[in-house]
Chains A and B, each alone.
Chain A
Amino acid sequence: MAITRDEVAYLAKLARIALSDAELDHLAPQLDQIITAVAQVQEVAAAGIPPTSHATGLTNVFRGDEPVPCLGPEAALAAAPAVEQQRFKVPRILGED
């Protein structure tokens, strides 16, 4: 097996997706199949081949340090599910500061 149901469950947690058991049952074998297929890339002898992260070959693209108009709080918060004191209101956050 390229990937187990438990591993899929762990990855879903990492990705913050609350998969149901039924979904896990359905997705895990599919992912197993896909991972087996994509693992083909390992067949390629690529010793000494540099990886390509950017196809354009561009470097050093910059902008100047000039301020531009902002959205404004109203537009920024317009789509927010909840707002209080002109801030995005979110459910309590566990964990460290």
Chain B
Amino acid sequence: MTVSYEEALQRYEPVFGLETHVELGTRTKLFCGCPTAFGAEPNSQVCPVCLGLPGSLPAVNRMAVEYTIRIGLALNCTIARWCRFARKNYFYPDMPKNFQISQYDEPLCTDGWLDVVAGGTTVRVGIERVHLEEDTGKSLHVGGATGRIHGAEYSLIDYNRAGIPLVEIVTKPVPGTGFLAPGVARAYVTELRDLLRSLGVSDVRMEEGSLRCDVNTSLSARGSGAWGTRTETKNVNSLRSVERAVRSEIERQAAVLDAGGRVVQETRHFHEDTGVTTGGRSKEEAQDYRYFPEPDLVPLAPPPEWVEKIRAALPELPAARRARLQAEWSLSDLEFEALRNAGAVDAVEQTVRAGASPADARKWWLGELARRANDAGVEVVSLPITPADVARVAELVAAGTLSDRLAREVIDGVLDGEGPPDQVVAARGLAVLSDEGALAAAVDEAIAANPDAAAKVRDGKVAAAGPLVGAVMRATRGRADAARVRDLILQRLTGA
């Protein structure tokens, strides 16, 4: 029995939470000096420390700690005065020591928040903690049908990734979002990603694994006040998947509860192709990680001066930047949100910086370019046109060299790879016909060729000028400025 999303929300209140792992973009790993570059040959970026060889010891990368504090401050967290690393003990071949150096009950940052806008409302997502830990190696499972672990004959492990610094950001549970839950979850990850990118601490590419999300979802019966059992969903590899995973879990759990069943506390796996989650390891018997303070590392006690220095150096955060741009561009909330939803804020900003007016920049990115992007099924920012190009086109229109119509042709040319705007204009001969003599000649020719229309205009039927304008436009292959042509025709025929 399945339950539709709408039905589910009639009976239940969703609560969700997110655990996000961010690979920091430090040059070296968290506990050793091995490089962190993505895509290196297997096991070419390892040393005794990150391989966990007997006798090796960790040494903390100061930059990783700084980045973590930066993230904590940007998320409005309290930075711990004193904290320790802890060992999380469990056996798994991708973990060279069979323990992970992480943080347990003393995270570096706690108790923050991030405001997120979805569906026209602002939701304050609480941040429980931000802590630092080391990443594991990567396994290739060989022999099974799907390359996944089930049915594999053996596995091959590459430890290049082992020891790369990971920051784990855990939200507090987010209740009260109702049917917006999937959207809010997605908006949170989007906002977090943009925030992290602006901080320069990570390249946050979900497709490369430098930003990983696990989503927790639970349902409580409406009006019951009690929170339901939550499941954890892994393998959520894109923003869209975040939204779909929350949604599908809400539907699934509602169906289970409606049928009188019990939601099992477990870890589920999200499938991109089907958009649903499947059950996996049961979390009923929670693993005992036997945490204890890491004896090979001494406590972290970030001096207040250091923390303040980091705070003072924080860049303008995305929310503040958006507010500033919205004011600078004199846009309403709705207008600005439209720009955000189109993913065009940066493009517009850069276009304005390249000399266009905010109105023009917005017009092109939200109008013609958004349409072209939609047709091609891509994001507007991945179109092969730069903000500088767009600014140039706007400039040419403002200068009268191009009409709006011609400008669209120029844009076509740029998108088709014919080169920058000026080159397209020249190559296609798209400049507005400004030679008054040629224009006059074309007007006269059109009048001569369309005597009936001309007569009507002389008689005062100004609307009849239309076909005459059309004739001139055809004759000039669209290069004439239609408004100017109309003026000229009326002048000729009515003396006005």
Contacts and interface: CB of A to CB of B under 8 A. Distances in A.
A and B touch in the complex (CB under 8 A): yes
Interface of A: 14, 16, 53-54, 56, 58-68, 70-73, 76-77, 84-97
B34 A73 contact: no
B155 interface: yes
A65 B64 CA distance: 8
A73 B34 CA distance: 13
B293 A53 contact: yes
B156 to A, nearest CB: 4
B34 A70 contact: yes
B233 interface: no
Interface stretch (B38-46, B343-351, B383-391, B487-495): B38-46
Given A70-B45, A70-B46, A76-B46, A92 B293 contact: no
Given A67-B27, A92-B154, A93-B139, A87 B295 contact: no
Given A70-B46, A92-B154, 17 more contacts: A61-B60, A63-B60, A65-B61, A70-B35, A71-B47, A71-B48, A76-B43, A76-B46, A76-B51, A76-B159, A84-B156, A87-B42, A88-B43, A88-B156, A90-B93, A90-B154, A93-B139
A34 B82 CA distance: 35
B82 A62 contact: no
A91 B154 contact: yes
Interface residues of B, number: 60
B197 interface: no
Contacts of B297: 61
5 contacts: A14-B288, A56-B298, A87-B43, A96-B280, A97-B269
A64 B280 CA distance: 41
B227 interface: no
Interface in B164-208: none
A90 B43 contact: no
A59 B298 contact: yes
B340 interface: no
B309 interface: no
A94 B148 CA distance: 11
A67 B35 contact: yes
A87 B155 CA distance: 9
B217 interface: no
A35 to B, nearest CB: 16
Interface in B18-67: 26-28, 32-35, 41-48, 51, 59-65
- In the A-B complex, list the 6 residue pairs whose CB atoms are closest, starting with the nearest: A68-B33, A62-B62, A87-B156, A65-B63, A53-B293, A58-B298
A87 B139 CA distance: 9
Contact of B46 (A61, A71, A84): A71
A36 to B, nearest CB: 21
B235 interface: yes
A71 B51 CA distance: 10
Contacts of A62: 59-62, 65
Contacts of A89: 154-156
B281 A96 contact: yes
B475 interface: no
Contacts of A16: 91
Interface in B251-309: 267, 269, 280-281, 288, 292-293, 295, 297-303
B281 A95 contact: yes
Contact of A97 (B61, B62, B149): B149
B34 A60 contact: no
B269 A63 contact: no
Contact of A85 (B27, B61, B82, B156): B156
A63 B33 CA distance: 9
Contacts of B61: 62-65
B157 interface: yes
Interface-central residue, A73, A85, A87, by most chain B CB under 10 Å? A87
A8 to B, nearest CB: 16
A86 B43 contact: yes
A18 to B, nearest CB: 13
A67 B154 CA distance: 33
B88 interface: no
Contact of B28 (A60, A65, A87, A96): A65
A94 B151 CA distance: 9
A88 B154 contact: no
Given A70-B45, A87-B43, A96-B267, A65 B235 contact: no
B234 interface: yes
Contacts of B301: 59-60
A64 B62 contact: yes
B26 A65 contact: yes
A54 B34 CA distance: 27
Contacts of A70: 34-35, 44-47
Contacts of A63: 33, 59-62
B395 interface: no
